Every structure is written in C-alpha cells, then in structure tokens.
Structure 1
Amino acid sequence: MAYVLIIEDENVIRQSLRRLLEKRQHVVAEADSVESAVREQDLTGFDLIIADLRLPGADGTAILERAPDVPTIIMTSYASVRSAVEAMKLGALDYIAKPFDNDELLLTVERALKEKRLERQNAALKADLDRDYPVSGIVGTCKAMRDVFDRITRVAPTTTTVLVLGESGTGKELVARALHEKSERSDGPMITVNCAAIPDSLIEAELFGHEKGAFTGAVGARQGLVESADGGTLFLDEIGELPLAAQARLLRVLQEGEIRRVGSSRPRHVDVRLVAATHRDLSRLVSAGDFREDLYFRINVMEIRLPPLRERGEDLPDLARHLLERARKRLKSPPMRFSNETMEGIRRYGWPGNVRELENAIERAVILSDSTVITPDILGLRPDDAPQPDTASPGLSLEDYFRQFVLANQDHCTETELARRLGISRKALWEKRQRLGIPRRPRMEESQEG
C-alpha cells in the first residue's frame, strides 16, 4: 500500500486513475491543480505523485519544486521526446503519454514505488551503520582500532595513495571499502584485485588490458582492471605478490596517470585512487630485490596498520556478538548467545586467522548447534588451545606467528585440527610448512585420517 496524489484537471481521467490505483490497495488523494494540491495537501506525506503536464495555472512540473523528495510521474497528451526530456531534467522520475495503457501505467507506478522503497531501505541501513560503527560496519573500540578509524576519516576525502598493512583476515578490504565510500569518488567504481590469485603470466593483461592479437588467445581487445577503475578506486590486495614487470607498469600509472595495454603503443589516460594492502614486510622485499623501491615509496604515502585480533582483547566480546548476530540472521536461525565458558575461550584463544577465522568458527557453530547457547565444543575451542594472547611476542610477522603456532600445537593436534584453527585448508598448511621449512611430525591419528 502506498499514498498517491493525483493532480489532473479532467475529472473523468482523475476518477479512472483513482479506481485503478485503489484496486491495487493504494490510498489516493486528488487535486485539480498544483495550487490546490499545495493548499490542501501535505505533499511530504505522499509516496508518489502523478501529475498532468498541462494544468490550469502552473504546469504539472511545478510540483517538482514543491515536493522535491517525492517521486513524481508526469503524464500528458502532448507526447513528444522534447517534453519528456524536459520533464526528466526538471526532476520527474518517469513520464507517460495519454491515452495510456492501464497495465503500462501500473508498471510505471510500481517501478517508482519500488525505487522509493529501496532508497529508504538504503538510507536506513546506512544510518544504522553510521550510528553503530564509525567506519563502514568495522567493529572496534580499542585504542588501535580508534587510531585506524581516525586515519580513515582523515585520509578518505583526499586522493592520497594508502597502504593498508595487517595479517591475513584482519579486514584490509573493509578498510579499502571505507576509504572509497567516504571519498569524493564514492559514486565511481571500486575495483578489487587479489594480486596473489592471478598467475604471473596473465597479471599484466588482467591489470592493464590487451589488444587483439597481443598474445596467443587474445582474440579481441580487452579493457584492464586499472582502466575499469577510472574515476574511482583501485584496491590491490597482496601487492607484495605483484611481479616486477607489472610493478613497473603500475609505477607509470601512479606517476603519469597513464596505462598502455599489452600489445599497444598508444597510452591511455586514467584517473584512479590507489589503495594497496599486504601482510608482507615490503621493506624486506625491497632489500631482497623482489619489490621496486620507487614503487614502495609511491604507495607508502599514508599507512594504516590493522592490529591482529590477539591484540584487540577488549574488542573480542562485542565483535563476537556482532558476528554471531550477522551469521544467525543470514542463516535464519533463532536468537543465540555464547555461554560464559565460550566467551572466556574466545578471549583466551590467539586467533591466528584473525577476524576471518573467528567469523568462520561462529558461522560453523550456528549451523551445528542444536541449542540457542553456543558452547566451547561447538565453537571448536578446547581448554589447551594455544597460543594465549599474552604469550605471543609483539610485532611477530605472520610467518613467524604461523611457525610459533604450529610448533606449539602439532604434538597434540592433527593436521586437520591445525588447519581448522589456522582458518586454512590442509593443502595450504602443507604448502606453508614446505615453504617455511617446518617438518611435519608423524602421528598415529593422522595416518587414520585418510
């Protein structure tokens, strides 16, 4: 049901429209001119206005100035492209010509009301987020997170390049989205690229595009992801994995605002704001010759460092409850809560996979729980789970923390349990063991895992 105002000077048409809309359960008010509508009605109380273009006194488009926030459909028997364009320029939501088809009119009305509903829902959701969480739904009140929020607020309105640092699972993409949404580019695109997920042989073509015939399989020209971000924000996640050749091309984008598609000699101008993220120590990569020093200085203009979850002790209860509420709504489960023992376990556990691991564990618990109370065993926590927040050395890299966690737990955990607690697959655990030189100790249970 919606509240609709019809402004039409011909009584027959006005009554016909009224009957048509009332059959759809809408509440209808009438006026025969803009002047009488303004005089007799509270225009802000309507969900939709349908006004004839030619009326006694002021034209129907005059209502647009009197009720700028109410969607308005203009109708006229003087159908022409010119009058339609002029009405739309003045702010009309849509336009319909008389004599109109009833079904066509109803479709136009329903489309207008749907857009209005979506607009209100989006405004309400945004208001809730802005009220509850200072930055795009990121939960946190500890000092480290308040510093993150402060930096986001300060740098978002600028065009400054931002480098987001933090372990895997700490929410680096959420920070990038907050920077985009609070910038003057928020109406433009935000293109997200995981540099680690694209093979080295394809990454230049993916980022910068290619011309037809540039390489085997290039059957046509293709726009790259950098070009797709023109006028908006380009988020390069795991930028430390970018090959040196692609780094050189990216440097030119930052220095000259230009790209050159693979196989093309003609540069193209682009206007993008770069946000980069990594869990790796870029200064070490520079020293090892794996990352360009000039690119490092270009992207490290403003740094935002996200703390690991083990350093956000006072945030854990609120964050866990927020994630539980979100998961159970998404899964359409009844209201649920953590037991006191579970909340204590959440506080004590080190969460090497950070927020992503906590979120995955909570979602799994919501699915598996037969009760409205989530217990430690359902969440997958045990009394001897390690590491403790206060036993982890501050400033550890992700690799060092991984090494410490595996060595501390592999004597009493199977590979499956280790992988689950780390928030990764067994294959990823094996690959990381190989890369870091951490031998796997044989266990009787593991031989039975299959």
Structure 2
Amino acid sequence: MKSVTDRLTESVLMEILENAFQWFVVVDKEANILYINEEYCKFLETTREEAIGKPVNEVIENTRMHEVIETGEEHIASPHFIKGTYMLANRVPLRVDGETVGAFGSVIFRDLHDWHNLSSHVRTTMEKIKIGQATEKTTFQLQDILGTSDSIKSIKETIRMIAPSDLPVLIQGESGTGKEMFAQSIHHLSSRSEKPFVKVNCAAIPAEFLELELFGSVGSTDQIQRKGRFQQAEGGTLFLDDLGDMPLSMQVKLLRVLQEGTIEPIGSHHAKKVNVRIIAAVNQPLKNLLESGKFREDLYYRIHAITLQIPPLRQRMDDFKEIANHFFHETIAKVGNRNLSIAPETMHYLQEYSWPGNVRELQNVVQAAVYLTNGNVIEPSVLPQEVRVKSGYYTRNTLTLQQAVEQMERNIISETLQMHPNKREAAKVLGLSRSTFYEKLKKYEF
C-alpha cells in the first residue's frame, strides 16, 4: 500500500499549501526564499516571481529566519511585528542528515488582538485544569533577548552551554539590564522548562519574613502549613533576585540548600529534600559585598563559578536602535496609531543619553513618548528633560576610543545637517567629498 505522500500529486500538495489558512515561506541555508504562498505575497504587496530567490529579509520585514538557520533553534508562536501589527509566527529549521539546509516559516495568527480574543476560552480551560499548581510560566526565551553585539552573542552562547546543567548561575548587571529575562531564558532551555520558575526578590521581603517565604512552615504534626518558594519551585528553577540584600543568617541556610539539597521549614526539626536549580542576580559585583563583609565567602565561592555579566545599555550601543524600535513598535501596537514615527532628532537625543536606568528606563521613556505625542511624529519635546540634555557619557570609562570617535562624528554630522539641510553644501562645510559624505550618512543612518 502506497504511503499518503506517494498518493498525493504535486498539484494537490500545492493546493493544500495555498489554502491552509496560513502564510508560508521556505528559505535555503543562505536565507534566500525558495517558496512563498500566494496569500503571503498579497499581504506583502509583492508577487511570487519577485520574491523567490531574494534574501528573505528584503521581502519580509523584521524576519528572524536567519537566526533559525544560524542557531538551529525553532521559534514557536513567536511575536513578529510586520506592516504595523504584531502576528504570531512559527520558524523551524529544515535538516537533512543532521545538517541545517534551510528553514520553514508560517504565520499562524494574523493579528495578536484577534488571537487573544479567540484563544481566551482555551486559556481559561487550561487555567482550570492547572488550578492549584504552583507553576509560573516563563515569559522570555533566548530569542527574545535583542541585540547582535559581541557581548550579547557571547552571553547567548554561554546560556546555550550551561542551560542543560543543574549548576547554580550568578547573573550580575546594573538595575534595569533585564537580568530576569536572562534567567528565564536559562530555565526555558533546560530540562526543567515544564516545571515552575519561581521568583523571589530578596530586597523586597523584610528580613524577618524571608525565611518563612523561602522555606515555608509546618504544624505540630510536621504537616506543611505553608509552602515556601523552594517547595513551590520543586523540580524547576528558583530565581533569587537582589541576592546581595539577603541577610547573612539566611545566606547560611541557602548554602546548606546548595550543598545538601535540603531545607528545614519553620517549626520542623527534619530536613526535607528539594530538587531546585538556583539562579541568582545582583546589581553590583558580589566581590565588593564580600570585601565589605556583607556576603559570606563560602557562599560566594559556591555560587559564582558560572557568572553572566550583563553589560549596561551604554556599553552596547550597537544594539540600541533594535531595542528602541522594538519598544516603539510594541507600544504603538497597543495604542493603535500605526502611522507614528520617531523624528531623526529624537532618535539622536535617545542615542546620546547615558541611560543610567538601562533597558528598563529606555522602555519607559519610549512608552511615555508614544502616549504623549499628539501628531504622527515623536518630537524631542516629549522626551524627559534629562534625556534632552547632552550628558557627555561617551567617556573612556564606558566607550572604546573608536566608539567615542564615531559618536562625536555622528553628532557633528547631525548638527551640520541641521544648519545646512542641503547635503552637497553640508559635505562642503565638513570638507568631505560627496562620496565620503554619503558613505557616512549611510553608516549613521541619516
């Protein structure tokens, strides 16, 4: 008896692909389009003849098909901002004899707002099924960490290497750098991904309540009265944010968990086994706390073996536009004003600011700017005063010499263009040939 695929003719297969209520695209290992269905072409305002053979990023904006080919990792139900709206897309690597030879992508839902409405009954049902469970689903995956700078690429590669282990991980970075996002990415890539991811902010819980919060309590019969976070995270990951604020007395008990894999709830005289992976985060180097006597030396040596150092935003300005545009598109999708754009001068101010609050501060500023704008262009006037004041952050302590020179060159070109909008005249004022000037305009995206 012939298999189903043997019995299906090419014309029938094409009919299925063209009428599957989804948009499809297939690319080769160079990310050039091999196939795209007609409905997708109509949405993209192109033809199949024009699209096939082209690099996919020239046809589909914000595509991440190349990432799937490079990493071999699938993206399932990944938000994709395209033509003014968010959609949900699947991207899957295509392999032959273990080698990635291309990728297949499909758009499942063509509007996230509709998807949320249509799926509400499904989500409600799932919540009823899981009622009483302690599982906290992770929100972020590795592909949600934006940026292609060397530092971010290195961190992502380290995460892929360490995620399968059960070793504790220390994440160091200034406030607002997104440390929890990195922690969730580790959990998602681990064998514990279907188990709980539980977060505890050690700085937000008063010291006298932290033991109860972490270890729980038992009654006179040694029966659990209250589950602690360790018990809630059983089989999964416990994320200890602001670990540096944990009292020394609690650090001793945390060390016991790491060494023996047991906890002792309040009121109990018996150790209880727990199976939990620890990921901790601090906003200053633990070594500084160690030297000042605020952190135990034995715990430090137990937890710092695998350390991820998350760079502040000012040290990864190569990623700035991608991150800023992500927050911008995310916000306008909620607001509904899809004709809104950012004025070049506004982007200039954003790039010149030092961002002491890092990515979180950038997100808040962009969101506020979108809501404060009445017209269709975000002007500098809606930015906070401190953002509009030149901070001079491009110092030898935060930027390399090359980055400082490029920042200064960008500023000079911007100021010259404001005084001399005619590009030929501006090039003459700067003493540059037209070809050199236009190369610099392209480089700095003017």
Shorter-chain TM-score: what band?
0.5 to 0.7
1:174 alignment partner, one of 170, 181, 201: 181
The answer to whether structure 1 residue 364 and structure 2 residue 371 are counterparts is no
TM-score norm. by structure 1 comes to: 0.57
Task: Identify the residue that residue 249 of structure 1 maps to in structure 2.
Answer: 253
**Residue of structure 2 aligned with 1:346, choices 343, 350, 356:** 350
**TM-superposed deviation, 1:377:** 1.6
Q: Is the 8 A contact 2:241 2:280 kept in 1?
A: yes
Trace 1:428-439 onto structure 2 (pairs within 5 A): none
Q: Which runs of 4+ in 1 moved over 3 A?
A: 42-47, 119-134, 381-384
Q: Is residue 2:155 matched to residue 1:148?
A: yes
Indicate which of 373, 383, 386 corresponds to 2:377: 373
Write out per-residue CA displacement over residues 327-379 of structure 1, whole angstroms, 9 at most, x where no aligned residue: 12233333422110011111100000000000001111111111221111212
Counterpart amino acid of residue 372 in structure 2: L
> What does the per-residue CA deviation read over 1:133-154, in whole Å, with 9 as the maximum and x for residues that have no partner?
9924111111111111111111
1:185 aligns with 2:189: no
1:257·1:269 contact (CA, 8 Å) conserved in 2? Answer: yes
Q: Which residue of 2 aligns with 1:431?
A: none
Confirm whether residue 127 of structure 1 aligns to residue 90 of structure 2. yes
* Aligned-residue offset at 1:299: 1.1
The one-character-per-residue Cα deviations of 1:16-63 (angstroms, maximum 9, x if unpaired) are xxxxxxxxxxxxxxxxxxx99x999x999999xxxxxxxxxxxxxxxx
1:310 Cα offset (Å): 0.7
- The answer as to 2:274 corresponding to 1:270 is yes
CA distance in structure 1 between the partners assigned to 2:267 and 2:88 by the alignment: 45
Q: What residue number does 1:355 align with?
A: 359
Q: 1:292 maps to which residue?
A: 296
Distance in 2 (CA, whole Å) between partners of 1:154 and 1:307 is 19
Amino acid across the alignment from 2:90: A
Contact (CA 8 Å) 2:234, 2:276: kept in 1 or not?
Answer: yes
Larger deviation, residues 373-382 vs 358-367: 373-382
Assess if the C-alpha contact under 8 Å between 2:192 and 2:235 holds in 1. Answer: yes
Structure 1 residues 391, 299: CA separation in 2 closer, same or farther (over 3 Å shift)?
same
Correspondence 1:280 to 2:284: yes
Q: Give, in whole Å, the separation in 2 of the partners of 1:190 and 1:383.
A: 36
Letter of the 1:272 counterpart: V
In structure 2, the CA distance between the partners of 1:383 and 1:254, relative to structure 1 (3 Å rule), is closer
The correspondence of residues 62-141 of structure 1 with structure 2, limited to 5 A, is 121=77, 125=88, 127=90, 135-141=142-148
Cα distance 1:387–1:246, how it changes in 2: closer, same or farther (>3 A)?
Answer: same
Tell me the number of residue pairs that the alignment of Structure 1 and Structure 2 aligns. Answer: 285
Matched, 1:158 2:172: no
C-alpha change, 1:343 and 1:197, in structure 2 (3 Å) is: same
Whether contact under 8 Å (2:197, 2:236) holds in the other structure is yes
Contact 1:258 1:268 in 2 (8 A): yes
1:257–1:271 CA contact under 8 A, matched in 2:
yes
Structure 1 residue 229: Cα displacement: 0.8
Q: Would you say the 8 A contact 2:76–2:90 is kept in 1?
A: no
From 306, 328, 342, the equivalent of 1:302 is 306
Residue 441 of structure 1 corresponds to: none
Q: CA deviation at 1:381?
A: 5.2
User: How many angstroms apart in 2 are the aligned matches of 1:228 and 1:134?
Assistant: 22
Letter in 2 for 1:145: I
- Contact 1:164–1:303 at 8 Å: present in 2 too? yes
Q: CA deviation at 1:220?
A: 7.4
CA 1:185–1:205 in 2, change beyond 3 Å: closer, same or farther?
A: same
What is the rounded CA distance, in whole Å, between the counterparts of 1:275 and 1:245 in structure 2? 19
Matched position secondary structure for 1:127: strand
Q: Does the 8 A contact of 2:141 with 2:184 survive in 1?
A: no
- Give the TM-score normalised by structure 2: 0.58
Instruction: Confirm or deny: 8 A CA contact 2:237 2:276 kept in the other structure.
Output: yes
Contact 2:141 2:181 in 1 (8 A): no
Mapped partners of 2:392, 2:161: distance in 1: 34
CA drift of 1:382 comes to: 6.1
Return 5+ residue gaps in structure 1 as ranges. Answer: 1-34, 48-118, 396-450
Higher-Rg member (1/2): 1
Partner of 2:324: 320
In 2, the alpha carbon distance for the partners of 1:257 and 1:173 equals: 23
Are the equivalent residues in 2 in contact too, given 1:134–1:149 (CA < 8 A)? Answer: no
Q: Cα deviation per residue 1:309-333 (whole Å; 9 max; x = unaligned)?
A: 1111111111100110111223333
Q: Distance in 2 between matches of 1:384 and 1:246?
A: 44
Partners in 1 of 2:91 and 2:357 — Cα distance?
A: 28
Aligned partners of 2:185, 2:288: CA distance in 1, in Å?
28
Residues 1:391 and 2:398 are matched in the alignment:
no
Residue 151 to residue 125, structure 1, CA distance change in 2 (3 Å): farther
Q: CA deviation at 1:213?
A: 7.3
Please list the CA deviations of residues 166-205 of structure 1 after superposition, one character each: whole Å capped at 9, or x if unmatched: 0000010000010011111111110011110000010010
- Give the C-alpha shift of residue 384 in structure 1: 5.7
